[in-house]
Homo-oligomer: A and B are copies of this chain.
């Protein structure tokens, strides 16, 4: 192995808002802030450099067009998919339509800025 995925960087309009949302979704905590307004969140136990990637919310005014060419899939760790879906919707996620048939065993959602992500079916253990 020669490289490891350490961070995911998400351009956004409102880094505070998305950092709050994704911290709740992933159980992440704030790890640091940069002068450009970026906020990095990550696992409370391992932080940057651990096996799970951190997430950097990076303020940007670049235009957005539709579905992300790269998107995140998540799995619930401490409840089933239905219960986790309820929790995500209560946090501000919205159902999204990317052309799925509706018979899939995953849910397509959008975060508060419309970034599409999926909630998969399997329940995973906390690593």
Contact = CB atoms under 8 A, between A and B. Distances in A.
Contact of A27 (B2, B65, B71): B2
Q: How many copies does the complex hold?
A: 2
A73 B2 contact: no
Interface string A95-127: 000000000000000000001001110101111
Interface residues of A, number: 52
Interface string A33-67: 00000000001000001111100100010101111
B75 A69 contact: no
A74 interface: yes
Given A62-B66, A62-B67, 16 more contacts: A1-B77, A2-B26, A2-B84, A4-B77, A6-B73, A6-B75, A6-B122, A8-B73, A9-B71, A11-B67, A49-B124, A49-B125, A50-B127, A51-B52, A52-B53, A65-B65
Interface of A: 1-11, 24-27, 43, 49-53, 56, 60, 62, 64-79, 84, 87-88, 115, 118-120, 122, 124-127
